[in-house]
Structure 1
Amino acid sequence: MTDILHIVGGGMAGSEAAWQAANMGITVVIHEMRPKVETFAHQTGLLGEMVCSNSFRSDDDEQNAVGLLHWEMRQASGLIMQTADKHRLPAGGALAVDRDHFAQAVTDAILAHPNITVEYGEITELPADGHWIFATGPLTSTTLGQAIAKETSAESLAFFDAIAPIVYFDSIDMSKAWMQSRYDKGDTEEERTAYLNCPMDKDQYEAFIDALMAADKAEFHEGETAGYFDGCLPIEVIAERGRESLRFGPMKPVGLTNPHQPDVKAYAVVQLRRDNKLGTLYNIVGFQTKMKYGAQVDVFKTIPGLENASFARLGGIHRNTFMNSPTLLDDQMRLRSAPHIRFAGQITGVEGYVESSAMGLLAGRMAATEMLGGSISAPPNTTAMGALITHITGGADAKTFQPMNVNFGLFPLVEGLKGGRRGRKDRYKAYTDRAKLDWHAWLGASTLDAA
């Protein structure tokens, strides 16, 4: 057992961890409970399945922290980013992928690797010895969650996450909707028309808000008191903060011109993003919801252009589990009470596909290096990955620890730069320039240390 790296969970973090370790010569076994044990959110038994969205967010590696994280993973030959690049869809300045082809490609790559095997079945206990990475994600099974809580003597921490609906393109009325990326972002015509837009005037918007607020919502079970992750709020929760909130959030009308009525400024705009390469499916951007299914159909069909919409998938809400990593994990992502076990992915308290995959990348490299008799330090906190791992393993306040996306607020300041909004472009460029130098240095040193 000791010469095999066991990885529990075949999502993005687990798949990335397996890929990194296997490429360093380690024999890896992935334990994936699907499809034998299903979850609320997953639709298939494929590895690396995207659940909530098909977007990896901004791909700008000079002005955006998540774009920088993309760059760092590419430099480390990350499976997730390699696969995303092969199956990307036009999405303006964002990196979006065909989710079905993406998951199939991740699965094919893992199954074809000579150092990796996959065993299907649920792991319900923490092992007493061996080399293990738990990357079970936010939908960790109840039984395993209880085992983790027992080992860590901690109450389960959780938040609620929501999924947006997906619409069939051929059911959208294109005499009302049009194709355009906000501010015409993108280098090609395909990218500049990557989003589908449905405009609303003031009366239509007000009627939509009324219908949204009155709709039947899914209720939490008794005793569930977890909050929401701010980066993935249900639209009705946003609307409850004020009737104009959605108009300044996912329904903002800026940067768009309706070719059907070029002289009329929309009061609000609902955007849909292509969800597959064929262009037959579009997801409603930012429309995560906890409305009941029937209510979703009624409310969303009030949107101009979606009156006759047919839905490939409706939205929903589910409970996500994460650990209080600052108190439980060391800087090698090992469980302090059982250092033969590492954790990776969303369960560690990072939020987002890319962040989860990045923590899988680090966990896989760290575990493999240790098994090979080498040593590896965490990347410096001046890099995107280093900033994330520093945050979850000690940089955050354990008493208020909550899931976190990568952002420049996690990075140490660059000396000599002025603050304020006017200097933000130069400041972010300075962050990314420094990060790229430090990431290359860390990659080179860690490779030598492992050898």
Structure 2
Amino acid sequence: MTPELHIVGGGMAGSEAAWQAANAGLRVVLHEMRPGVGTFAHQTGLLGEMVCSNSFRSDDNEQNAVGLLHWEMRQAGGLIMDCADRHRLPAGGALAVDRDPFAQTVTDRLRAHPNVRVEAGEITGLPRDGHWIIATGPLTSSALGQAIAAETGADALAFFDAIAPIVYFDSIDMSKAWMQSRYDKGETEEERTAYLNCPMDRDQYEAFIDALLAADKTEFHQGETAGYFDGCLPIEVMAERGRETLRFGPMKPIGLTNPHQPEVKPHAVVQLRRDNALGTLYNIVGFQTKMKYGAQTDVFRRIPGLENAGFARLGGIHRNTFLNSPTLIDAQLRLRSAPHIRFAGQITGVEGYVESAAMGLLAGRMAAAELTGRPLDAPPPTTATGALVTHITGGAEAKTFQPMNVNFGLFPPVAGLKGGRRGRKDRYKAYTDRAKADWTGWLAGAALDAARA
């Protein structure tokens, strides 16, 4: 009888794990609690719903680690990357996605797969038998989170994550704003004009910072001591670190020329990125926030061009949880105390849509290999996927473990290359060339083992 695998959570990781395992011949039951049981951030019951952003970040697979991760997942027949490519939006060198059609396609593909059965309902405890992947993400339900904590004997670590607001395009004053990607990056005119820019002079910037610092913010509940993930800091937290922090971060004015005043260099620039294929919605890039709703509209309408902005969604903040994976999970992503259970996605301590999906891809393949009698080793740490799994399952220091995006700092060095900024381009190219060769070899070895089984 064909083995059956249960997967809890229909986000990026769970959807990818289900796809990989089903394509390997397993019968897959995908458990998703939405829409019956909602979360703070989700709005639908679709599988693969995008929440905080609609961007998969850089798609450059020669100079960027997340772009390399894109490449590896495409080579492995990844569902998430295929659906992202089908619903790609212009975003310069980044991979941005039309989020609703993307999630609908993920849902349709999985529901149509003959080896996949999607079951609605919340899983409230850890199963004691069978074969399972827990891919519930950072918004794991309270009941399941408590069950995981009880099993591991340790409190799950936590951090706060924030969501950026989305603006209706037709409410933006284009006599002040303009369309341009930074440094005109992109191969087509559409890509070179993928971002909407709102300029500020010095006085406007200083007034904006004052309003931002004075605005009412969401307060944490008593006893909540989690910090923030540095890759998704609320803008007011960045502003508190120094008045110039935003101007050297998401509001940096470099690489942009205002066609309304080409002779005037903006002091700061707020960028918005298209959020859907129709171009009717734009999200404010890097403007994650914990401001209360009323304060958000007051502060954001101080931005030139957004004085009359209409908001399709305001920003917000929520508490994320993740495991101390270096102490709890083995190299096969199995829970050491209950090896019939694997974990995948952001709950393992990777950060980002792509990283989450990559751990789902790996967990699905590893589960399928184990259940069909052909155990699969983790990919080499010289690959993007392998570097991530090595980091979370033992490469990181357990005492200070925090969510991590993929980056070249996780890769073993390539001997004989220059250090510093001067040699960075050659070093990154060497990392990606080595990773592509090693990933191709790992995939070929896995395919050969499957054929022999």
- Asked if 2 retains the 8 angstrom alpha-carbon contact of 1:56 and 1:354, the reply is yes
Q: Does 1:430 align with 2:399?
A: no
User: Aligned equivalents of 2:82 and 2:47: distance in 1?
Assistant: 15
Q: Does 1:26 align with 2:26?
A: yes
Letter in 1 for 2:303: I
Superposed counterparts of 1:287-366, under 5 Å:
287-366=287-366
What residue is the counterpart of 1:89 in the other structure?
Answer: 89
Superposed counterparts of 1:213-292, under 5 Å:
213-292=213-292
- Asked if 1 retains the 8 angstrom alpha-carbon contact of 2:12 and 2:48, the reply is yes
- Asked if 1 retains the 8 angstrom alpha-carbon contact of 2:273 and 2:285, the reply is yes
Q: Secondary structure at the match of 1:265?
A: coil
Q: Does 1:77 align with 2:77?
A: yes
Q: Does 1:450 align with 2:450?
A: yes
User: Aligned equivalents of 2:70 and 2:96: distance in 1?
Assistant: 12
State the Cα deviation string for residues 132-174 of structure 1 (Å, max 9, x = none).
Answer: 0000000000110000000000012100000000000000000
Quote the offset at 1:450 in angstroms. 2.9
Q: Secondary structure at the match of 1:199?
A: strand
Superposed counterparts of 1:6-405, under 5 Å:
6-405=6-405
Q: Secondary structure at the match of 1:380?
A: coil
Letter in 1 for 2:13: A
User: Aligned equivalents of 2:195 and 2:32: distance in 1?
Assistant: 35
State the Cα deviation string for residues 316-344 of structure 1 (Å, max 9, x = none).
Answer: 00000000000000000000000000000
Letter in 2 for 1:217: K
Letter in 2 for 1:175: S
Distance 1:2 1:160, change over 3 A: farther
- Asked if 1 retains the 8 angstrom alpha-carbon contact of 2:2 and 2:25, the reply is no
User: Aligned equivalents of 2:354 and 2:221: distance in 1?
Assistant: 30
Quote the offset at 1:446 in angstroms. 1.3
State the Cα deviation string for residues 328-371 of structure 1 (Å, max 9, x = none).
Answer: 00000000000000000000000000000000000000000111
User: Aligned equivalents of 1:2 and 1:91: distance in 2?
Assistant: 43
Letter in 1 for 2:28: V
- Asked if 1 retains the 8 angstrom alpha-carbon contact of 2:32 and 2:122, the reply is yes
State the Cα deviation string for residues 15-34 of structure 1 (Å, max 9, x = none).
Answer: 00000000011100000000
Letter in 2 for 1:147: A
- Asked if 1 retains the 8 angstrom alpha-carbon contact of 2:2 and 2:26, the reply is no
State the Cα deviation string for residues 158-215 of structure 1 (Å, max 9, x = none).
Answer: 0000000000000000000000000000000000000000000000000000000000
Q: Secondary structure at the match of 1:196?
A: strand
User: Aligned equivalents of 1:341 and 1:264: distance in 2?
Assistant: 59
Letter in 1 for 2:399: K
Quote the offset at 1:3 in angstroms. 2.2
Letter in 1 for 2:99: R
Task: Could you tell me which runs of 5 or more consecutive residues in structure 2 were left unpaired when the two chains were aligned.
Answer: none
Letter in 2 for 1:255: G
Task: Could you tell me which runs of 5 or more consecutive residues in structure 1 were left unpaired when the two chains were aligned.
Answer: none
Q: Secondary structure at the match of 2:160?
A: strand
Q: Identity of counterpart residues, as a percentage?
A: 84
Q: Secondary structure at the match of 1:319?
A: strand
- Asked if 2 retains the 8 angstrom alpha-carbon contact of 1:167 and 1:313, the reply is yes
Structure 1 length-normalised TM:
0.99
User: Aligned equivalents of 2:100 and 2:450: distance in 1?
Assistant: 35
- Asked if 2 retains the 8 angstrom alpha-carbon contact of 1:376 and 1:450, the reply is no
Quote the offset at 1:2 in angstroms. 8.8
Letter in 1 for 2:299: V
User: Aligned equivalents of 1:8 and 1:448: distance in 2?
Assistant: 29
- Asked if 1 retains the 8 angstrom alpha-carbon contact of 2:2 and 2:27, the reply is no
Letter in 2 for 1:132: W
Letter in 2 for 1:270: V
User: Aligned equivalents of 2:142 and 2:153: distance in 1?
Assistant: 16
User: Aligned equivalents of 2:128 and 2:142: distance in 1?
Assistant: 20
Structure 2 length-normalised TM:
0.99
Letter in 1 for 2:300: F
State the Cα deviation string for residues 63-101 of structure 1 (Å, max 9, x = none).
Answer: 000000000000000000000000000000000000011
- Asked if 2 retains the 8 angstrom alpha-carbon contact of 1:375 and 1:450, the reply is no
Quote the offset at 1:448 in angstroms. 1.7
- Asked if 2 retains the 8 angstrom alpha-carbon contact of 1:175 and 1:260, the reply is yes
Q: Does 1:440 align with 2:453?
A: no
RMSD: 0.8
Q: Secondary structure at the match of 1:53?
A: coil
- Asked if 2 retains the 8 angstrom alpha-carbon contact of 1:88 and 1:97, the reply is yes
Q: Secondary structure at the match of 1:421?
A: coil
Letter in 2 for 1:358: A
- Asked if 2 retains the 8 angstrom alpha-carbon contact of 1:212 and 1:236, the reply is yes
Letter in 1 for 2:286: G
Letter in 2 for 1:262: P
User: Aligned equivalents of 2:2 and 2:185: distance in 1?
Assistant: 51
Letter in 2 for 1:113: H
Q: Secondary structure at the match of 1:340?
A: strand
User: Aligned equivalents of 1:343 and 1:218: distance in 2?
Assistant: 31
State the Cα deviation string for residues 14-64 of structure 1 (Å, max 9, x = none).
Answer: 000000000011100000000000000001000000000000000000000
Instruction: Spell out structure 1 runs of 4+ moving beyond 3 A.
Output: none
User: Aligned equivalents of 2:307 and 2:62: distance in 1?
Assistant: 41
- Asked if 2 retains the 8 angstrom alpha-carbon contact of 1:2 and 1:131, the reply is no
Quote the offset at 1:375 in angstroms. 1.3
Q: Secondary structure at the match of 2:31?
A: strand
Letter in 1 for 2:209: I
State how many pairs are aligned: 451
Distance 1:2 1:216, change over 3 A: farther
User: Aligned equivalents of 1:437 and 1:279: distance in 2?
Assistant: 39
